[in-house]
Structure 1
Amino acid sequence: MPEPLHAKAGELSADEILDALREGRRVVIETEMLGGVHKVTLRIDGDVYYCDTPTTLHRHPDEEGMRTCIDRMGYGRRDE
């Protein structure tokens, strides 16, 4: 299994995160939430995308759903 890719929220673009997921890598994002700094693991298993947060496991049925989550939660860099 390839090494996970570690980054802080906003360091990578959504495309870079999705590229790593397609390569079979997990992406571990360090982000501020719930009053502290936490790690969120993004991964794909078959056709389902997952966001494993400190409070819940989110499932996304397709890449577009994962991209929306990455953008909405601020995991990816916001290119202006």
Structure 2
Amino acid sequence: MGQTGICFRGRIDRLDEDAARGAAVITDYKVGTAPDRKKPVVFDRGAELQRVFYGLAVQSLLPDVRSVSSQLTYLTHDPARTLILTDE
């Protein structure tokens, strides 16, 4: 809970850590269709904060990680389509 008194619950679909590089990649799997490639990827006006909180959790729980990337993998596409968000 920390000093804020706020508690969040959730489950990271996949977390890959590269300890040698100090990097981590968070993957969130989606069953819907990926957005059009021409549109910028945004956090849906604040409604989609899940990956932000996951990134904060990874930074908090793995202090040696210096770089955190978050990606969405849309499983409806064949092959699956991944959108990568870095330094968001």
Taking structure 2 as the reference length, the TM-score comes to 0.26
| Higher normalized helix content (fraction of residues) | 1
Which structure: larger Rg? 2
Q: Which has the higher strand share?
A: 1
